[in-house]
Amino acid sequence: MAVSRCQRLSGALVQELLATVDTVLFDCDGVIWRGDQVIPGAPEVINALKSHDKRVFFVTNNSTKTRAMYAEKLGRLGFQASEEEVFGTAYCSAVYLKRTAKLDGKVYLIGGNALSQELQRVGIPHLGSGPDPVTGSQNDWANVPLDPDVKAVLVGFDEHFSYMKLARALRYLDDPRCLFIGTNTDTRLPLEGGRAVPGTGCLVRAVETVAHRKAQIIGKPNHFMFDCLASEYGIQPSRTLMVGDRLDTDILLGSNCGVKTLLTLTGVSRLEEALEHLESGSEARLRLVPDYYVDTIGDLLPALQG
């Protein structure tokens, strides 16, 4: 079907679009929930899509949960979902290090329990998770002891992020052979009530700054998350829809991977931003423009129930 960019998706257009789609990819935070508060109608939409024989996957940059944790939360909030349908950056980072980088050594982890569990699950030894308070003097910080078996630094969301962790990452990354991986570059994590907390991108940028190196980013809009999913399930990009709330991650992923895109306005990005990109005449900015938009994912429900 021919698409005029940034169309409001409603009524018969929903059914017309779904006739061209076999697989729907959903971001989570800001799309189907905010924090622990479900977006009204989201479970019904996703469950209805499955009843219409659409494959549904959850593709999230959030690295604070394992696949199993996400499946538990989805079920608790009323979504029909399995662990295998979840592709988060904790899981995909472990897959990247194991299958793509073929890491032979340990990981220095700036990240939480979910990343630790996913690394352990694929058999990658690691250290660094948990608090690392400042001790000693500047000379001590510049000479923190290193584990010679560490061959990669992985940065995800870490509530215990500290100066000492920066100091250790600096020393490991001074070796150009040490891999530098970041789960994502999202600067904010949206919560219920319009609030937000600092996102992983703030931590990745801090380590990049001190290391004078750029991280290999696993999450959206990088191709790897989509490639990871496509390699396991053989999905066809031209018959896939990406649903998200961020132009610079979800929508750009769709543009990068040749899938249709739908922006929902319950999270980070605003319609005005998309329209400014559309009117800019810039090829790079046009890649941030969704094919469709809705005020909220619940707007799809009438067409699915009709």
Catalytic residues: 27, 29
CA 194 to CA 300: how far, in whole Å?
Answer: 22
Which tokens go with 305? 């129930």
**Beta strands 196-198 and 188-190, pairing class:** antiparallel
Is 27 annotated in some ligand binding site?
Answer: yes
Is 98 annotated in some ligand binding site?
Answer: no
Q: What are phi and psi of 17, to 5 degrees?
A: -65, -45
284 Cβ contact list (under 8 Å, min separation 6): none
Q: What are phi and psi of 148, to 5 degrees?
A: -65, -15
Is 245 annotated in some ligand binding site?
Answer: yes
Q: Give strand ranges (E) for the chain.
A: 7-8, 23-26, 33-34, 37-38, 55-60, 86-88, 106-110, 126-127, 150-155, 179-182, 188-190, 196-198, 216-217, 240-244, 260-264, 292-294
Helix/strand/coil for 240: strand
Q: Known binding site for Mg(2+): residues?
A: 27, 29, 245
